[in-house]
Chain A
Amino acid sequence: MTFILLPFIEMFYASLRPLDHLFRSPYQFYSDDLSFWAYQEMWNTVPMLGRYIFNSFFLASCVAILTLIFVIPAAYAYARFKFPAKNTSLYILLAINMFSGAVILIPLYKLLRTLGLLNSYQSMIIPGVAFLIPTAIWLLKSYFEKIPIDLEEAAFVDGASRVQILRHIIAPLSTPGLVVVGIYAFIGAYAQQFLFAITFNQKKEYMPIPTGLYEFIGYQSVKWNEMMAAALVGMLPVLLLFVFLQKYIVEGLTAGAVKN
């Protein structure tokens, strides 16, 4: 427990302390003038911080929405239809989850370069979506499976088309599931913003928080209190989302691996 939380506590503590207290060796455990000064100063030290935060949100939202668009029909098909190669393809999806993005960086880099998409939002969104699709399909499939099939059959008998069923029956009933999967994709997209971002994007104005802050570590003297303040601000949104929804997300994820 201490091991897990200590880094966060120390980050928060450091963010409250004046810089000259931090720069004492050996480490001082006590500071008497704690303040939120760093939380104001960081906007000046990292001038693009606001932009980075916006980028992170923007990228994660785009990725989450795109993921849902691709995943909803696919997950529905897996939940409702029988077709050849169904199980095999589901296992292939699981296997894709195990590949790190690092393995396919080279062709992707060349592809994005040919398309002229390097150093753009798209260069981070496109690969991001691909790595969230597999888990999202598995998650959403299990939500769809919980919707009683009788409802659909009744509508089908009444002459509703597949599309109508999807829109009027499945969609409203599966809203909670969609929200959970959407948020899962958002958190996932928010968390994965590093590898693709450092590889495919060098432009400051498109950087998400992790790469934006990482750039600052390279500088001569790191203002650690502000750095920690900025890092905490950067992780806050996903933490909050997660605390509110952890029950559903954890249930969905563990159900897949534990019981199947």
Chain B
Amino acid sequence: MNQKLKSYTAQTYIAYALIAPAALYIILIVAWPLLETIRLSFTNSSLAGEDYVGLENYQKMFSSKKFNGIVTRTFVWMFFSVSLKLIIGLIGAVLLNANLKGRSIFRVLVMPPWVVPIAIGMLGWLWLYNGYFGIIAGVGMRTGILDGPFGFLAYKQSAFISTIIADVWVGTPMVTVFFLAAMQGVPRDLYEAAYCDGASRWDRFFKITLPQITPVIITMSLLSAIWTFNSFEIIWILTEGGPRGSTTTLIIDTYKQALGNYKFGRGAARAVVVMILLMLFAGFYLALLARINKKISHE
């Protein structure tokens, strides 16, 4: 017994020693900055120096109409983007899971937007959205939908929609790939049994595939919501949050406040709001994951 206990603690020490470098690194570069951000949010920190100002940053932030608009906008943006990603991803996964010729090539071809540096992909979208010379405006003008050049990123509503579309373009491949992996994990005999019972394609999808991959759909929608919430580069490159703030999400606003104006205190207060929301998402996600894992291990 004593021997066992001893080797157990020795193991623990070795394990901690092996993990220590990575852990310290993360504490220094991620955990400490998170705490420091919280502290800074109670100051008027700038390049000049800092003083504690209590809750002033928060009071100002929550009483500003603009900020409340930004929060609402962030969630609307997220809602559309995430739902589109899930719907397109599900359809894509079903198609890729079907017995089509050359599906392995298609499986590779869906992935580029996910792998390519987002910032570079967005340069392509800037060109597509170009109001005078871009292909989208071009098709619109040729077909008569548009009666002249139209800068998709220059007007409030169209910019809002355009950034969502670009975000969906970036995010869908990953969702598709995860759904596909889940669908391939569904036991074959379920389908065979259903086939023998004469179930139609629709039945098989709605009564077997969908229920079987529901856990993955739920986790992916949460993960996707988190990533979408964090999306910075797409909006920043396409519109920098404009025109007139119409595509300014929380992340963009945080960035602008903090590093556009070097008002660290105000930026930090926004970052704290972002943090709290992210922790809520992450908590949901991890709780869900733990539940799913428990279920699996019980089965």
Contacts and interface: CB of A to CB of B under 8 A. Distances in A.
Interface of A: 1, 3-8, 10-11, 14, 22-29, 69-71, 73-74, 76-78, 80-84, 86, 89, 91, 93-96, 98-100, 102-111, 126-127, 129-131, 133-134, 137, 162, 187, 190-195, 199, 209-211, 213-214, 217, 224, 227-228, 231, 234-235, 238-239, 242-243, 246, 250, 254, 257-260
Contact of B127 (A190, A194, A228, A260): A228
B118 A194 contact: yes
Interface stretch (B23-31, B55-63, B154-162): B23-31
Q: How many residues of B sit at the interface, in one of the four size bands?
A: 35 or more
Contacts of B223: 257
A27 B142 contact: yes
Interface of B: 8, 11-12, 14-16, 18-19, 21-23, 25-26, 29-30, 32-34, 36-37, 40, 45, 88, 92, 106, 108-113, 115-121, 123-128, 130, 132-135, 137-139, 141-142, 149, 169, 172-173, 177-178, 181-182, 185, 216, 219-220, 223, 226, 229-230, 232-233, 237, 251, 254-255, 258-259, 264, 267-268, 271, 274-275, 278-279, 281-282, 285-286, 289-290, 292-293, 296
A211 B36 CA distance: 28
Contacts of A91: 286, 289-290
A1 B96 CA distance: 11
Contacts of A257: 178, 216, 219-220, 223
A260 B293 contact: yes
B285 to A, nearest CB: 7
A4 B173 contact: yes
A191 B237 contact: no
Contacts of B106: 1
Contacts of B282: 94-95, 98
A100 B251 contact: yes
A260 B292 CA distance: 9
25 contacts: A3-B88, A7-B113, A26-B141, A26-B142, A26-B149, A74-B18, A74-B23, A81-B11, A91-B289, A91-B290, A94-B285, A95-B282, A99-B34, A107-B40, A110-B264, A130-B25, A199-B259, A217-B237, A239-B115, A242-B115, A243-B108, A257-B219, A258-B181, A258-B216, A260-B289
Contacts of A191: 115-118
B33 A104 contact: yes
Chain A CB within 10 A, most for which of B34, B115, B172: B115
A105 B258 contact: yes
